[in-house]
Each structure stands twice: as structure tokens, then as C-alpha cells.
Structure 1
Amino acid sequence: MMFRKAKYFYLLISCAIIGGACNNLKKIPAGDALYTGATVKIDSTELSKKKKKSLESELHSLVRPKPNKKILGMRFKLSMYNLAGNPKKETSLRGWLKNKMGEPPVLLSDVNVERNIQVLQSTLENTGYFKAVVEGDTTIDGKTATAQYTVQTGIQYKNRNVFFDTSGLIQKAIAEDSSISLLKKGDPFDLAAIKSERIRIDGILKEKGYYFFDPNFIIVQTDTTAGNNQVDLKVKVKPGIAPTSLQPYTINDIFFFPTFRPNTGSGNANANANAMDTSKKDMIFYDGYYVLDRQKQYKPRIFEDAIQFHKGELYNRTDHSATVSRLVNLGLFRFVRNRMEPVPGDSAKLNVYYYMTPMQRQSLRAEINGSTKSNNLTGSSITLGWRKRNTFHGGELLSIDATGGFEVQVGGQLRGYNTFRYGLRSTLSIPRFVVPFIKWNNAGGFVPRTEIALGFEKLIRNKLYTMNSFQASFGYIWKTDIKNEQKFNPIAITYVQPASISDQYLDSVAKNPILGRTIAKQFILGATYNYNYSELQDNIYKTGIYFNGNADVSGNIIGLLTGASESNPKSIFDAQFSQYIRLEADFRYYLKLAKWTVLANRIILGGSVPYGNSRSLPFVKQFFSGGNNSLRGFRSRSVGPGTYVSDTISTGFLPDQPGDMKLELNTELRTKLFSIVHGAIFIDAGNVWLTHEDSLTGAGFSKSFLKELAVDAGVGLRFDASFLVLRLDVAFPLRKPFLPEGDRWVLDEIKFGSGPWRRQNLIFNIGIGYPF
């Protein structure tokens, strides 16, 4: 049954491609025609060629309706709509083709020429073409029709003078910032600029205490009698505005209600909020504000970090918005409402009220993941988490996560070396900077946090080894705005110790020295810093940049205290501690080519300087290349270092191949195909290298590093359901750095029809989320 449906589906697709155009026209109702689009032509000697083209494009975008969409010159979606016919059920295959993939015909009868003329005429007048004339008509050619619009713009009017009224207090406040007005002398008249100017003025007045002012109170009078196709603009405040809207306010008393429970049955949230207003004698007064918290669930100091203005200060919108944002970002309250009321008998002051509805204090969560890696490892993991908000009544968040998982080798010849892991991690997040003897504030609407974390993990590689690792850190996270985030851990500790090592693995280390790095004892005591900048904010189809930089320094203080050196290494807890400087930068540039098409580019640069007590980075800090978020035409962690060739035959399993330095470049063309299905074509290049080659021939970094890059290419599908992105990629090598120089490009060996070539070279990747 499924085969028959699939066969029918592909038959419909083929018919749509081969005979779609003819079928589309046959379905047009009698007396009507298929509307194929409109043209807009500007007839003007006053406009430059560039300006004319730009204006034609702008006006064309306003014409409605839009014709049926074309794909490769064919109206594919219309063809699918017609071929599906009249399905009995919307849930059937034909129903899906018609309603999801299909698109009904756009007919000439749907076109309202007069309405389009009005829209174009109005748009031109709003941009200074006061004498513009627009004409429109349609042309029918058999079963198709088009519309044509001809525009005579005339001369565009420009601003001669811009005047600001100074007859009153608020008028003078407006005129003070007239130098940054959006209405400029000599600019073309533009209604959109006038609207933006009203919003700009309102924003500036809000910073000066005018809480009750509104952009609609501003009018801009236009005088077209100035002559020479010019206009005079006068910015004024509407007459008859209530006095309360025309005066600045200062902050009076500030009230917090952190246990506010709205009575949803009353249907009047303001009435419920007013019901909370009570006598100050029932409240706690702390640092200039009042808190009503009869059960003492919250320490008053958490509101000290949130509030951005104080009694006696002039009201301003920036502090107002930042306070609300901080209360929300505390992560303690489901809803945050704000109300400001003039003080009775003193209309120049505002009482400020904040009503917060608490979230559930404790919560449990479970998360299950499945993964398939390009080294034929398939596995799953489960995480059980417990959260306790406001742990010590100061806004803290205590998190404890228990994780367990496995990975099983399901393909290839190297089977049986399965991986199991389990661990426990706890994190205490405090909503402020905790710095001894220093009061450190962070401006803006984002709450800074201090995080203390402890963790343990046991890794079991069947038949090979068992490793225990411990982590601890203390640090700070803060944002200056939505695009910038910084993390600084002045203390970051990692201790890794092998619990058991099999004889088979020890024999393999003797044959392949790179394997010894995995089981080495490691003690890392240092500091880390991370800076993240993003212009995307979860929108991948836009032009913008992303940057993530990491700095990691370890062993400096211990090295000085112990006098450690390469010739005289020292140990702590029976492990040689690490000394290094490690830097990594991830830069991405996204170029939007069309509405649903973007070119995504990434470059990763990683470098390190092991010194003193270390000849190389500890294994947990080293760089890797290859895998479903890296070089997708190579197996996970299998590229490099340099031109080094790993001996997987003698060891019997696939080793991780780390490096002290890394270079990786990725380019991916992404486009939306239909519905939630997106497609991609990509190229990856990169490698890792060691600082000291030691006994690993070809693994060291040299001036010939560009000749040692691995390169792959591939295609992929992404099923983007917003809350979850499932990614399927298939890729293959174009250049293999471990081959002799001169033989590394393998383009001439590509044979998609060859089974042995596909088994050795095609790498399938399944991932969650976009690779970058």
C-alpha cells in the first residue's frame, strides 16, 4: 500500500514537471485568464537611472495580488494544485498535495487595477511626489493576462526649512535635541521620516521624565507654498493635550509585591493589583523601597540589584525598561506587571508599583537524546534534572543533573568497543556578582550571575579503559545587551584519572603513541574567559555576524610556586599538572541572498602554547577535526594531526586524533525547499596539528600547513520545526591529507556508482540543530 502511494506521488511529480504548463491553462475558468504578473514603468526625466530602477522595484512590490510562484521557470505549486484534483479527504495524499504543496491559480478577476493605482499614488505622494500621475491597464493574451502601470512622478519636493516650536516648557525640551532630528533640510519630503521623528521625540521626552506623553501628541505641519518644489515643516505639539501629559515626573515611592496572585476569575487585572496596595506599616522598607512579603520568601536585597532608579530621580524610560527586564530575567517570576500612578495632591511625582507572580519553586525535568555519529557510533543518553528556584531566598537557582548514556559501534569492522558514561553535575547560580569586599554592579536590563559548579563523570570504553573526571568552577556571566555576553571563571579545575586500563590498550599505546594521551592523568587549575557576540538572535535567514572567543590559561601560579619546568616536571594529586595558554576563535558571516536563502560561512582558529610543565595540551583541552559539526566528509575526530596516519588495523579500534592547533573553514548554501524542509550544499576544510611532533611523523605544525588541509563536500536536508531541527547530511572527501603530497586531491577517484567507493567514502551524519 505504501509502495502504491509512493508510486502515485512520484507519478504526479513527473506529470507536474512534464505537462504542468498546459494543464494549468486548461483549468482556467471560461471568461477569465491566468494572471502572470505586473510591470511598473516610470516615465520621468528628473530621476537618475539608478533612482528610477529603485523606485520601480519599490512600487512593484506594492502591487497586489502576486502571481503564482515559479520554480525554475515553471509554476510547480500551481501544477500540483491542479493535478491533485478534488480530494475527498484533506488528510489523503492528494489532499496534502493540493493544500500543502499546491497553490490555487491567481486569476485576472482577482486583480483590482484601481485599488493598485490608489496605493501607488498614495505611496508617491507620501515620499514627496505631490504631482505624480499613475495609470494602469491589463493585457490579455489567450489564457494569460498581465497588468501594466505607468507612472509620471514629476519633481520630488524637498524640505526647505524645519522649524521647532519653542512656545512652552515641553516645546523647548523637544527643540533641545533638534540637531539630531530625522527631518533634515534638503532631504526629500517623506511621511515615513515624519512618523519616525514623532517616535524619536517621544523617546527623548520619556528620558526627560514625560511619562504620560504619546507620539500622537506631535504634529508636523507641511507648507507646500514655499515654491521651487520645496516644503517648510513645523514640528508642534497638538493643542488641547491634558496638562498631566505635558510635564516631567520624578520618582516618589517604589513598591514591590513579589507574591502577587492575580484573580483570573475577576477579569480585571488592574483591580487585583490595586487590591494589593496596602499600608506601608505592613511592608519592609529596604534601601529606599518597600516590599510586601508577609511570608518572607524573598530577601529584599534581590530587588536592590533589579531596581535601576531611586526616589527623587527624574523618570526615564531606559531605567524603567531595564528594571522590568531584570525582574523577568531573575527567572523567579512567571509574570511581572508594572504600574505608575501620580501621587495624589502632587501631580509631578510618580509612585511605582511592581507586581510579580512567582514560578513554581521546584521542578523536575527529563531529557532523552539519540545520536548517530560519522564513526558508526549510535547511542542514546538520558538526563534527569532537579531545579530549586530561590534556594536561599536570595534569588538563587540550584540545579542538579544526573546523566547516563551509551554509544555502540553498529557498522564497519571495528565493533565491540562500546562506550558507557554516567555523571552528576550541580550548579548554584546567584543573581549578582559575588566579589569579596567589592560591590560590583552591571548596568542594563540583564541580571549578572555568579555560578559555582561541581561535577563528576565516569567514562567506560569497553575492553579498553575506564576514566574518572572531576570538574569544579567559580565564575561570572553577564550581558551588556542582547548581542553581547561574557563569561569569566577565575577558578576552573579539572582532574582526570584512569580507573583501569586493559592490557590490549596498553599494547596499542606501544604501537600508536597518540593513544597514550587519552589515558594520561591530568590536573588543570587555571582561568577561562569567553566572549560571545551574535547579530542573529535565532534567525538564520538574515545577514549578520557571529563571534565566539575563548581564552584558557592554566598552571601559572602553581608553576611559580613549585618551580616546574620541562626538565623538572611537578605533580599534584599524583598527576603532572598542565601549563598552557589556549586561544580559540569561531567567526561566522551569514549573507542573505533571498528571502529563504542564505550563504553561511565559518572559520575556526585554535592555537595553544604548552610550556613549563607541559609539552602539549591535556587531552580534554585539545582540538579535534572531523564529524557532523566539523568536517562532515570524515569520521568523527579522525582528521590529522597534520599528515599523520593512524594505525587502526593493529590497534583494532578507531582512536581520537587530537591536536594543539586547529584551522577549519566551512561554507554552506542554505535554502528553504517547502514547508519545514530546508536544503543545503556545503564544503568543509580543515585539520589539527601538534606543537611538538615527537614520534608522530607528520603531526607537527609547519609553514606547509595549508598543503595539509582535508577538504570535503556534501548535501543535506534540515527539517526545521522551530522548536527542533533534525539534520541529515551526506558528504565525501575531496582531499585526504594523509596521502603522499601530490596525491591528496581525490576528485578523479569519485565514483558514485561504485559500491566499494561509497562504502569507503560516503559519510552519513544525523544531527540536531544546524552545524553552525
Structure 2
Amino acid sequence: MRFSGFTCVKILSASLIFLFSSCNVAKRLPADDKLYKGADIQIENGGFFSNFGLKGELSDAVQPEPNRRILGIIPFRLWLYQIAGDSVPEKGLRHWLKEKVGEPPVIYNDAFPERSGNNIRNYLFNHGYFDSDVDVDVLSKKHSVSLQFNVKPNEAYTIREYFYPEVRDSLTFYIQQSREEALIESGETYNLDELSNERNRINDFLKNNGFYAFSPEYLIFRVDSNVLDKKLKVYLEVKSDIPETAFTIYRVNDVFVYPDFVLGGDTQHCDTTQIRSYSFITCNPNIRPVSISRALLLEKGDIYSLSDYNATLNKIMGLGMFKFANIEFTSLMPDTALLNAGVYLTQVIPRSFRAELQAVSKSNDFVGPGLNLSYTDRNFFRGAEMFSFSMFSGLETQFSGRQSGLFSYEIRLESEMLIPRFIVPFVNANNFLSRQYTAHTNIRAAFGFADRVNYFTNRSVNLSYGYTWRETPAKSHDFTLINIDYSNLGKIFPLFDSLLSADELVRQSFQDRFIFSLIYNSC
């Protein structure tokens, strides 16, 4: 008897389903336990597409999730967990099956229906479906339990109008000024998450305008509803019992910078250096204060700004010299609107050396050892300039093939200097860049030498000068203003010369090259 390929697949699939189904995982549970097989959500009212989207969102509110199943039928991971046994060794196949691949059974608990039902009700209420009905049916079998939620959502409420508080003081004045970027608009469906986002947005706006002591918890929303047309009026209000400091517009006073801060360290015997309005307190002056001052956006007399605070941290970390950075503000006196700032910086280990021994194997049967050495100094000129130097040396020989016994060796040298600012003649380009991030000037030089014994020698040089900067957290730019590539075929032996003469393509690929280019990349 012969079977077609398709018939074999069907027989195999049916056999697998029968195999795993016959091994009823629920029967392996203790007598008082039942396997939780998940929940189904049935939505009444509304159209198919609206219900389909709502059903998917409500499914995320149902907890816990049941054991995963292949094709929605076979709890394969649970089956592996159970066949591994109850007592498994600390290593081996059974340990791997139970601890790494297998999945323990999700046992039904009487609290599941109420907990998931409350999650569904909360989701509906927070998204404008007020007074919705949610019922649950517990479908219990001998060894398993599943749930079915029956949801009757009312029509979702939408926002008719959104009102800001009247201007009574400087705080409410700035709240009014922020309304152009409001996240809540008339006609939108009520969404509690959007109200929370709106409150945080206003808080950030206020903090960027000096309200250092303000908190989003000081804002509340009052909602008036109309049952007949399902419309809402949303009123933004400021709590009446907030502290007086929340109404204060703060300014930056003195800024103290600790470039070599160590937790618990003694700063009483350190030196103080004044750069502009910044006081640098250093115990081990290994980095020039002026290099750090370029990253500081907190100027004495400026209105406190959360954006400047975050940008200062970003620019400091962009120097590449510090592994931790923290800024703490302290009020000068309770009755003043001045803040002293302490900038605490913990340095990385500035110098590192690395050596790697490699074994090289290529598709053309060349094999041999290689040595890779690299050195990095993150504070080369004591201004957070990062200098790196690497050297690779390799020796290769061919053990098989027509050219068995052929040797070649190469050496590559590469150095790079990363300077944490733009260096442009006659122009202060740093004024045109984002204040949020540190821009860099890149200077690179590379040299390579290769010797294919009894064939040829080759030299290559690369020189480049360019800039890298970040525009947003997700967008960066890399502009190489000058990029020079030079390659020169040095000594040519007679055997290789005959190969060049016989093949024009090979000869052209080994011609001397001098390429000058500009390169720009954005990602």
C-alpha cells in the first residue's frame, strides 16, 4: 500500500495530536487541583470590528494566563514538565526539561473569576464604558476549569469640553500657558490614561518654568457627565491644600561640582576651582574643570528647568568619562526661591588595555595565529578626550591546495581621537546643535601593511576627520568631512607580475588608489 506525501503528513499530525491528547496532563495533578484552561470573553452590543478590538484589549486584563498550547490544543511545555518527574537532579536532561523548557501547571483558584472580573470592569470604566455589566460563568470539569466572561458594555462617553482653571496667580497663569499642547481634545473618548498623561505634561511644563516643588499629584480632574447624550465636561483643578512652595518660581543659585566624587569620601581637604559661576571641588584633579563646564546648563540666576536638568545629565554622560552622575538641589532657606545644586560625578577607570590571541581560518585554506592589542585612554588631554590605539598582527600559511606552503603576514595600526565638542575653524558650531546631547569631533588614522611572500607587498593608509552628534534620542548624525584612502602595491615579484599580465581584472584590482570623499550617515 502506498501513501502520498500529503496523506503521510495528515497521519503524522493525527498521531501527534492523539499522543499528546492521550497523555492527559490534567489527570496528573493532585486530586484537589484542577488545571486552569483560560477564559473566553463574549461581548454583546456593538459591531463585529469594534467588539473584536475591545475583546483583544479585555483579554489582556484577564489574569493569570493559562499554560501555552501548540495550535491551541497541545500543552506541550506542560507535558514536558510533567514527564520530567517530581524529583529531578540538579543537572542533566530531566533538569533541563523541567527547569528550562517545561512549564508548571496553572492551577485554578477560586479568586480568579473575581480578580479578572474586576480587572475587566476597571478597564471598561477607565476607557469611558461606564456602568457596564460583567458576568462570569465558571465551566468546571472533572480535571479542569475554564471561565467565560459575558460583557455588556454601554456606549462609551466622549469629551464635550475641557476646561482649565481660571488665572488667579502665577501657577494658574502658567497652567493656562500650557494649553496649546493639551493632550485632551473635544470629541475624544474618555480615557483615564490620557488624563494621567495630561497631568504629567502640565507638571513638566511647570517644572520647566521654575516650579521646582510642584507635583502632578497637586492636579485633579473633575468630570461632569450627561447620561442622555453620553458627553462629559472635564475640569482641571488645582488642589486647595497644596504647600506654598508649589506656587514658588525657583532660580538656580550656586552650583557645586564634584568631578571625582566617592560615596563616603572626605571633601574637606579638597581644592576649589571657580569656572564662571561653577565651583569645582576636586581631590584628585585629573580632568580640567572647563571641559565639564561645557556640559553644564544650570547657570546661576537662571529659572529652574527640568529640561536643563535632564540635558545636563545627558551631556555629562556623553563625555564618556563618568559612570554615574547625580544632581541634587537644596533650598537655600525656607523663605527664599533659590536653589543650590550639587553635581556629583563618579569617574570610570580612564585607561584600559586588552590583548587577544586569535586563530584565523579562511575559506582559501589559509590558517594561522593573530595577535590583537588595544589601548584606550578616556581622558587623554585631561579634557575627556578619548584616545584609542589598536594593533593587529597576523601570520598565515596555506597547508593544502596548489599553493601549499605559501606564507603571508600583515600588520594593521589604527588610532582614533574622540573630542567631546565640535572643532570648526572660525565658527562656534556648538551653538547650532541640540542642547540635550554632547557632540564629538572624530580624528582617525589607520595604516596597514601586508606581505604575501614571493608575490607582493601592499601598503594602505586611511585618514579621516568628522563629527558625530545626536539630534533626538532616536536620531543621530555622522558626518565625515575629510576621508582619504590610499593604497599602494609595493614590491612585485616576477611570479605575481606574470599573473597581473595574464588577467586584466586582477591587474586593475591591484592598482594604486587615492580616494578623497565626504561621508554622511543618519540613523
Which amino acid in the other structure matches residue 158 of structure 2? K
Provide the rounded CA distance (Å) in 2 between the counterparts of 1:22 and 1:276: 73
Counterpart position of 1:62: 61
> Pairwise CA RMSD of aligned residues?
2.9
Provide the rounded CA distance (Å) in 2 between the counterparts of 1:405 and 1:82: 53
Asked if 1:333 is matched to 2:322, the reply is yes
Do the aligned partners of residues 372 and 170 (structure 1) sit closer, same or farther apart at CA in structure 2, a change above 3 Å counting? Answer: farther
Do the aligned partners of residues 346 and 387 (structure 1) sit closer, same or farther apart at CA in structure 2, a change above 3 Å counting? Answer: farther
Alignment of 1:446-485 (within 5 A): 446-461=437-452, 464-485=455-476
Alignment of 1:85-124 (within 5 A): 85-109=85-109, 112-124=112-124
Provide the rounded CA distance (Å) in 2 between the counterparts of 1:85 and 1:17: 22
Which amino acid in the other structure matches residue 456 of structure 1? F
Counterpart position of 1:498: 489
Which amino acid in the other structure matches residue 520 of structure 2? N
Do the aligned partners of residues 422 and 17 (structure 1) sit closer, same or farther apart at CA in structure 2, a change above 3 Å counting? Answer: farther
**1:62 aligned counterpart, secondary structure:** coil
Alignment of 1:204-283 (within 5 A): 204-224=205-225, 228-263=229-264, 276=267, 283=272
Provide the rounded CA distance (Å) in 1 between the counterparts of 2:353 and 2:345: 23
Which amino acid in the other structure matches residue 103 of structure 1? E
Do the aligned partners of residues 416 and 193 (structure 1) sit closer, same or farther apart at CA in structure 2, a change above 3 Å counting? Answer: farther
Asked if 1:516 is matched to 2:510, the reply is no
* Residues 508-531 of structure 1 deviation map (CA, whole Å, 9 limit, x = unaligned): 22332221234322233x242221
Deviation for aligned residue 1:89:
0.8
Q: 1:24–1:82: 8 Å Cα contact kept in structure 2?
A: no
Counterpart position of 2:522: 532
Q: 1:382–1:403: 8 Å Cα contact kept in structure 2?
A: yes
Q: 2:288–2:382: 8 Å Cα contact kept in structure 1?
A: yes
Q: Which runs of 5+ in 2 are unaligned?
A: 1-14
Provide the rounded CA distance (Å) in 2 between the counterparts of 1:60 and 1:409: 63
Question: Higher RCO, 1 or 2 (CA under 8 Å, sep at least 6)?
Answer: 2
Provide the rounded CA distance (Å) in 2 between the counterparts of 1:456 and 1:24: 68
Which amino acid in the other structure matches residue 456 of structure 2? Y
Which amino acid in the other structure matches residue 98 of structure 1? K
* Residues 645-697 of structure 1 deviation map (CA, whole Å, 9 limit, x = unaligned): xxxxxxxxxxxxxxxxxxxxxxxxxxxxxxxxxxxxxxxxxxxxxxxxxxxxx
Which amino acid in the other structure matches residue 151 of structure 2? V
Asked if 1:37 is matched to 2:26, the reply is no
Do the aligned partners of residues 193 and 369 (structure 1) sit closer, same or farther apart at CA in structure 2, a change above 3 Å counting? Answer: farther
* Residues 257-292 of structure 1 deviation map (CA, whole Å, 9 limit, x = unaligned): 2122221xxxxxxxx6xx75899xx63322332222
Provide the rounded CA distance (Å) in 1 between the counterparts of 2:455 and 2:109: 75
Do the aligned partners of residues 372 and 169 (structure 1) sit closer, same or farther apart at CA in structure 2, a change above 3 Å counting? Answer: farther
Deviation for aligned residue 1:379:
6.4
Provide the rounded CA distance (Å) in 1 between the counterparts of 2:281 and 2:315: 19
Deviation for aligned residue 1:444:
3.0
Deviation for aligned residue 1:500:
3.1
Alignment of 1:589-608 (within 5 A): none
Q: 1:284–1:292: 8 Å Cα contact kept in structure 2?
A: yes
Do the aligned partners of residues 20 and 297 (structure 1) sit closer, same or farther apart at CA in structure 2, a change above 3 Å counting? Answer: same
Provide the rounded CA distance (Å) in 2 between the counterparts of 1:90 and 1:134: 47
Provide the rounded CA distance (Å) in 2 between the counterparts of 1:224 and 1:58: 25
Provide the rounded CA distance (Å) in 1 between the counterparts of 2:251 and 2:176: 21
Provide the rounded CA distance (Å) in 1 between the counterparts of 2:188 and 2:397: 68
**1:176 aligned counterpart, secondary structure:** helix
Provide the rounded CA distance (Å) in 2 between the counterparts of 1:79 and 1:376: 48
Deviation for aligned residue 1:123:
1.4
Which amino acid in the other structure matches residue 348 of structure 1? A
Do the aligned partners of residues 262 and 142 (structure 1) sit closer, same or farther apart at CA in structure 2, a change above 3 Å counting? Answer: closer
Alignment of 1:290-305 (within 5 A): 290-293=279-282, 296-305=285-294
Provide the rounded CA distance (Å) in 2 between the counterparts of 1:236 and 1:289: 39
Which amino acid in the other structure matches residue 22 of structure 1? S
Asked if 1:128 is matched to 2:128, the reply is yes
Do the aligned partners of residues 133 and 291 (structure 1) sit closer, same or farther apart at CA in structure 2, a change above 3 Å counting? Answer: same
Provide the rounded CA distance (Å) in 1 between the counterparts of 2:366 and 2:207: 59
Q: 2:317–2:325: 8 Å Cα contact kept in structure 1?
A: yes
Deviation for aligned residue 1:368:
5.3
Deviation for aligned residue 1:220:
0.9
Which amino acid in the other structure matches residue 522 of structure 2? N
Provide the rounded CA distance (Å) in 2 between the counterparts of 1:406 and 1:445: 47
Deviation for aligned residue 1:419:
5.2
Which amino acid in the other structure matches residue 455 of structure 1? A
* Residues 95-115 of structure 1 deviation map (CA, whole Å, 9 limit, x = unaligned): 111111111222334771121
Deviation for aligned residue 1:161:
2.5
Deviation for aligned residue 1:468:
1.7
* Residues 14-60 of structure 1 deviation map (CA, whole Å, 9 limit, x = unaligned): x988722221334233354433321101112xx33222111111111
Q: 1:250–1:349: 8 Å Cα contact kept in structure 2?
A: yes
Q: Which runs of 5+ in 1 are unaligned?
A: 1-14, 264-271, 534-772
Counterpart position of 1:396: 385
**1:297 aligned counterpart, secondary structure:** coil
Provide the rounded CA distance (Å) in 1 between the counterparts of 2:455 and 2:75: 59
**2:202 aligned counterpart, secondary structure:** helix
Do the aligned partners of residues 345 and 180 (structure 1) sit closer, same or farther apart at CA in structure 2, a change above 3 Å counting? Answer: closer
Which amino acid in the other structure matches residue 394 of structure 1? G
Provide the rounded CA distance (Å) in 1 between the counterparts of 2:396 and 2:144: 60
Q: 2:220–2:236: 8 Å Cα contact kept in structure 1?
A: yes
Q: Aligned residues, how many?
A: 504
* Residues 336-365 of structure 1 deviation map (CA, whole Å, 9 limit, x = unaligned): 121122233762222222121222232212
Do the aligned partners of residues 196 and 494 (structure 1) sit closer, same or farther apart at CA in structure 2, a change above 3 Å counting? Answer: same
Which amino acid in the other structure matches residue 65 of structure 2? K
Provide the rounded CA distance (Å) in 2 between the counterparts of 1:437 and 1:95: 68
Do the aligned partners of residues 376 and 155 (structure 1) sit closer, same or farther apart at CA in structure 2, a change above 3 Å counting? Answer: farther
Do the aligned partners of residues 527 and 277 (structure 1) sit closer, same or farther apart at CA in structure 2, a change above 3 Å counting? Answer: farther
**TM-score normalised to the size of structure 2?**
0.87
Provide the rounded CA distance (Å) in 1 between the counterparts of 2:115 and 2:207: 40
Deviation for aligned residue 1:330:
0.7
Provide the rounded CA distance (Å) in 2 between the counterparts of 1:445 and 1:18: 61
Which amino acid in the other structure matches residue 49 of structure 1? F
**TM-score normalised to the size of structure 1?**
0.61
Which amino acid in the other structure matches residue 70 of structure 2? I
Which amino acid in the other structure matches residue 300 of structure 1? P
Q: 2:163–2:234: 8 Å Cα contact kept in structure 1?
A: yes
Counterpart position of 1:423: 412
Counterpart position of 2:5: none
**1:452 aligned counterpart, secondary structure:** strand
Which amino acid in the other structure matches residue 52 of structure 1? N
Which amino acid in the other structure matches residue 59 of structure 2? H
